[in-house]
């Protein structure tokens, strides 16, 4: 990611508190990032991010008290030693490089990086690990199940912590120059391996049962790496990266939770199911409901209820949400619209954003194919789902199968007993906004309409294969994803595809909800079970020695055969060749390796 320098700051001599003006620091900055007032040449480490407009440094500000100062915060650091580095578009880059060099120079041995190697004991049965890429204070995690004499040696130094343990895992802190003897580690049923870690992730994992093949090497330098974590991520690729979408499209901003609109050919980034940020990828879809935000105009009609337009702030922040209020009569209190253009037998998802205004429950009735009851506070549904959005808003959705080319949809208020026929009080109701009917088995991103149905175009991301293609003999492709649901079609959802004969592909959904890897001809491996929706998973395929492996969440799913397909010109990310069969979900952390990672590396990557 690039530096953060939006707004200005007020700094006070002798105080560690920095006040922001027009800043949005929550979610953008983190403790450990480094801060400077532009032109001062002095850097400070951020101790805490207190709010969007306040941070606290780990040391008092030594410069002069000043207001409305330009500043910048470095957020990029090397993974092993934490050295700051600049990215494209950053300012004060000479100062960032100066700080990194001074950090290296201030610690003997280059930040305590010392030699590291792996070797067998003289009897050929055990291994020694000598450090050449391990920092001072590195933790050695010794997993349950160690049974033999492995030694971690760093020239000179001391060892802190136990050298013997029975049963569960432990950590031994080893200073530079120390030696740790693990000879008496006795095992239970765990894996016979140990790891070297920099405190954040394992750098190497040594599995005694596999010898040198059990060592995890550098999995942090793939041929291609696209994080997909923030919209301003710089993507370093060999060749061209192209993102297209022939229409505008909405997304939920990952920082403020409001619904925003992305311009044509502009990628969208949202929170994934685990709270991380990823690239939103969807296929084309059409909202068949008209006047999705203006529920007081034709073709909407109300019965025993009134609609007050633009009554409160909608999920997009604009004052455009309408208020449905029940009448003081014994009746069904609802608004309705007849939706046409349906295909008999086709699956459709009905969705609407809702917020309590005296009533907390409602029913959506498709008058034939089915109905669903929603509790906006408990966030429960008789069928379908209730998903929180922001500022008290939720999105209610459920799926029907059309039995006619048109259906009347009723959005009905219900009383605390969830009864639809009751005497209203003339004041209670629900705010509604963003009604949608689309031909999908799940709710996709919201598509605004007025007097006609509107289609959101498909997201298409490609990279040039030249320089980014890993070949056919030895390769690994890994990425994280979530999906909104199962498309229920043999064509499925693709997260990776090469255009040469459409043979080299990776899917995360087919007619059974499973993922599949393709590399040339059959047989090809599939996941052992359907991949659950609305959860983040890591999928990988590996080619080695004529064998194709498929992995899900670090577990081998199956193997298949490999031939030698033609060299592609384009790689599609999040779709099939030609920009078809999109994911309908999110992607992040795509990595393409021009080698076959070991099984241990895939499990730990």
Q: Which of 92-106, 383-397, 405-419 has the lowest mean pLDDT?
A: 92-106
**pLDDT over threshold 70, residue 73:** yes
Q: How many angstroms separate the CA atoms of 501 and 19, rounded?
A: 57
Q: Which of 183, 214, 245 is the last residue of a domain?
A: 214
Share of the chain above pLDDT 90, in %: 40
Q: What is the mean pLDDT of residues 175-203?
A: 36
One domain for residues 504 and 590: yes
The values of phi and psi at residue 211, to 5°, are 60, -140
Quote the CA–CA distance of 410 and 329 in Å, as a whole number. 18
Residue 84 pLDDT > 80: no
pLDDT band at 459 (very low <50, low <70, confident <90, very high): very high
3 in a domain, yes or no?
no
Most confident of 208-217, 375-384, 460-469: 375-384
Residue 20 pLDDT greater than 60, yes or no: yes
580 and 481 in a common domain: yes
Mean pLDDT across the chain, nearest whole number? Answer: 77
Q: Which residues does residue 45 pair with via DSSP β-bridges, in sequence order? A: 34
Name the nearest CA neighbour of 577 among 518, 535, 524. 518
DSSP result, 380-425: EESSSEEEE-STT-EEEEEEEE-SSSEEEEEEEEE-TT--SEEE--
Cα-only R_g, the chain: 29
Domain membership flag for residue 133: yes
Question: Would residue 246 count as lying in a domain?
Answer: yes
Residue after which a domain boundary falls, among 106, 137, 169: 106
Nearest-10 Cα torsion for 508, 509, 514, 520: -70
pLDDT at 381: 95
Residues 450, 466 within the same domain = no
- Tell me whether residue 369 is in a domain: yes
291, 436: one domain: yes
Give the domain extent around 512. 221-283+457-605
What pLDDT, on the 0 to 100 scale, is given for residue 475? Answer: 84
Q: What is the pLDDT of residue 564?
A: 65
Task: Determine the 3-state secondary structure of 35 from DSSP.
Answer: strand
pTM of the full predicted structure? 0.66
pLDDT digits (tens, 9 = 90+) for 434-445: 999 999 999 999
Contact by Cβ (8 Å): 317, 258 = yes
Low-confidence winner among 531-540, 555-564, 568-577 (lowest mean pLDDT): 555-564
Q: What is the pLDDT of residue 250?
A: 97
- Judged by DSSP in three states, 208 sits in helix
Shared domain for 182 and 229, answered yes or no, is no
Number of neighbouring beta carbons within 10 Å of residue 460: 21
**Highest mean pLDDT pick, 230-239, 374-383, 541-550:** 374-383
Residue 196 predicted with pLDDT over 90? no
pLDDT over 70 at 167, yes or no: no
565 & 451 share domain = no
Beta carbons within 10 angstroms of residue 556's beta carbon:
16
Q: Which residues contact 101 (CB under 8 A, 6 or more apart)?
A: none
Q: Give the residue-averaged pLDDT of 420-444.
A: 96
Are 224 and 476 a contacting pair, CB within 8 Å? no
pLDDT one-digit tens code per residue, 279-327: 899 999 999 999 999 999 999 999 999 999 999 999 999 999 999 999 9
Buried b (16+ CB within 10 A) or exposed e, 227-266: bbbebebeeeeeeebebebeebbbbbbbeeebbeebeeee
- pLDDT in the model for residue 83: 72
pLDDT for the residue numbered 153: 34
Inform me whether the pLDDT recorded for 168 exceeds 90. no
Q: Are residues 471 and 600 in the same domain?
A: yes
Pick the last residue of a domain from 214, 245, 264: 214
pLDDT of residue 100: 67
Q: Is residue 225 part of a domain?
A: yes
Q: Which of the four pLDDT bands, split at 50, 70 and 90, describes residue 602?
A: confident
Q: For residue 254, what are the contacts with CB-CB under 8 A and spacing of at least 6? A: 27, 269, 270, 271, 277
Q: Which residues have a Cβ under 8 Å from the Cβ of 106 and sit 6 or more positions away? A: none
Q: How many domains does the chain have?
A: 4
Q: What is the DSSP letter of 77?
A: B
Q: Looking at residue 385, which CATH number applies to its domain?
A: 2.60.120.260
* Residue 387, domain member (yes or no): yes
Cβ-based neighbours of 428, under 8 Å, separated by 6 or more? 325, 326, 357, 358, 359, 413
Whether the predicted pLDDT of 206 surpasses 70:
no
Contacts of 107 (CB under 8 A, 6+ apart): none
In this structure, the number of other CB atoms found within 10 A of the CB of residue 529 comes to 12
Confidence label for 565 from pLDDT (cuts 50, 70 and 90): low
Q: According to the model, what pLDDT value does residue 28 have?
A: 86
User: For residue 585, which of 509, 530, 510, 501 has the smallest C-alpha distance?
Assistant: 509
Low-confidence winner among 118-127, 209-218, 517-526 (lowest mean pLDDT): 118-127
**Chain Cα centroid distance, residue 535:** 10
**Chain centroid offset of residue 336 CA:** 37
Q: Is the pLDDT of residue 129 over 70?
A: no
Same-domain check for residues 485 and 599:
yes
pLDDT score at 331: 96
Tell me whether residue 2 is in a domain.
no
pLDDT tens digits along 511-542: 788 888 877 655 578 888 999 998 999 999 88
Q: Are 312 and 389 in a shared domain?
A: yes
Residues 57-80 as b or e (16 or more Cβ within 10 Å = b):
beeebeeeeeeebebbbbbbeeeb
**Closest by CA position to 355, among listed 374, 331, 332, 329:** 374
pLDDT score for 370: 92
Residue 537 in any domain: the answer is yes
pLDDT of residue 175: 38
Q: How confident is the model at residue 116 (pLDDT cuts 50, 70, 90)?
A: very low
Q: What pLDDT, on the 0 to 100 scale, is given for residue 283?
A: 94
> Which range is least confidently modeled, 5-9, 237-241, 441-445?
237-241
Q: Per-residue confidence at 189, pLDDT binned at 50, 70, 90?
A: very low
DSSP secondary structure code for residue 145 in this structure: T
Confidence of residue 228 (pLDDT cuts 50, 70, 90): low
CA–CA dist 259, 253 (Å, integer)? 6
Contact 586, 278 (CB under 8 A): yes
325: left (phi over 0), alpha (psi -120 to 50) or beta: beta
Claim to verify: residue 172 and residue 225 sit in the same structural domain: no
Q: Give the DSSP H or E segment for 310.
A: strand 305-313
CB atoms within 10 A of CB 474: 15
Q: Average pLDDT in the 537-550 region? A: 88
CA 139 vs. chain centroid, Å, equals 29
Residue 45 near residue 32, CB atoms below 8 Å? yes
3-state secondary structure of 516: strand
Per DSSP, 526 falls in state: B
| Residue-wise pLDDT tens digits, 582-600 | 899 999 888 888 888 887 7
- Same-domain check for residues 83 and 144: no
* pLDDT of 136 above 70: no
86 against 294, higher pLDDT: 294
The CATH number of residue 259's host domain is: 2.60.120.200
Q: Are residues 98 and 247 in the same domain?
A: no
């Amino acid at each position: 990611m690039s530096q953060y320098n939006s707004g200005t700051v007020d700094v006070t001599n002798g105080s560690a508190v920095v006040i922001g003006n027009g800043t949005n620091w929550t979610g953008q900055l983190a403790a450990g990032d480094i801060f400077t007032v532009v032109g001062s040449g002095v850097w400070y480490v951020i101790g805490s991010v207190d709010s969007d407009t306040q941070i606290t440094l780990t040391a008092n500000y030594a410069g002069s008290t000043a207001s409305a100062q330009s500043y910048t915060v470095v957020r990029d650091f090397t993974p092993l030693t934490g050295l700051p580095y600049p990215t494209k578009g950053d300012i004060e880059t000479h100062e960032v490089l100066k700080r990194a060099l001074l950090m290296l120079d201030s610690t003997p041995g280059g930040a305590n990086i010392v030699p590291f190697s792996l070797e067998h004991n003289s009897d050929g049965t055990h291994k020694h690990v000598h450090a050449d890429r391990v920092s001072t204070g590195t933790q050695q995690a010794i997993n349950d199940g160690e049974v033999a004499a492995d030694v971690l040696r760093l020239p000179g130094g001391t060892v802190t912590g136990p050298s013997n343990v029975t049963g569960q895992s432990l950590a031994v802190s080893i200073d530079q120059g120390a030696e740790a003897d693990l000879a008496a580690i006795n095992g239970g049923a765990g894996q016979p391996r140990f790891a070297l870690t920099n405190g954040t992730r394992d750098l190497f994992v040594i599995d005694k049962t596999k010898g040198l093949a059990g060592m995890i090497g550098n999995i942090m330098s793939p041929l291609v790496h696209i994080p997909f974590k923030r919209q301003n991520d710089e993507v370093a690729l060999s060749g061209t990266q192209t993102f297209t979408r022939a229409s505008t499209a909405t997304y939920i901003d990952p920082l403020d939770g409001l619904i925003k609109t992305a311009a044509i050919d502009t990628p969208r980034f949202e929170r994934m199911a685990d709270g991380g940020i990823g690239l939103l990828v969807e296929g084309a879809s059409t909202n068949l409901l008209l006047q999705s935000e203006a529920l007081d105009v034709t073709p909407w009609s109300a019965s025993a209820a009134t609609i007050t337009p633009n009554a409160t702030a909608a999920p997009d922040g604009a004052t455009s949400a309408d208020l449905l209020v029940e009448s003081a009569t014994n009746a069904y209190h609802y608004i309705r619209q007849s939706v046409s253009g349906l295909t008999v037998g086709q699956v459709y998802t009905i969705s609407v954003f809702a917020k309590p205004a005296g009533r907390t429950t409602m029913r959506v009735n498709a008058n034939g194919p089915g109905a669903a009851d929603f509790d906006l506070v408990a966030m429960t549904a008789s069928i379908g789902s209730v998903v929180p959005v922001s500022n008290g808003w939720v999105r209610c959705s459920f799926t029907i199968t059309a039995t006619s080319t048109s259906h009347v949809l009723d959005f009905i208020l219900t009383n605390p007993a969830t009864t639809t026929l009751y005497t209203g009080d003339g004041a209670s109701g629900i705010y509604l906004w963003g009604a949608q009917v689309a031909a999908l088995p799940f709710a996709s991103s919201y598509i605004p309409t007025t007097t006609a149905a509107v289609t959101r175009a498909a997201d298409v991301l490609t990279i040039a294969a030249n320089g980014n293609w890993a070949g056919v003999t030895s390769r690994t492709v890994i990425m994280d994803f979530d999906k909104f649901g199962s498309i229920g079609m043999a064509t499925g959802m693709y997260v990776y595809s090469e255009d040469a004969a459409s043979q080299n592909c990776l899917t995360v959904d087919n007619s059974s909800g499973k993922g599949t890897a393709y590399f040339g001809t059959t047989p090809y491996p599939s996941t052992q079970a359907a991949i659950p929706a609305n959860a983040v998973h890591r999928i990988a395929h590996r080619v080695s020695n004529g064998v194709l492996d498929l992995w899900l969440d670090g577990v081998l799913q199956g193997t298949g055969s490999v031939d030698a397909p033609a060299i592609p010109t384009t790689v599609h990310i999040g779709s099939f060749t030609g920009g078809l069969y999109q994911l309908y979900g999110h992607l992040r952390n795509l990595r393409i390796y021009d080698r076959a990672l070991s099984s241990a590396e895939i499990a730990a990557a």
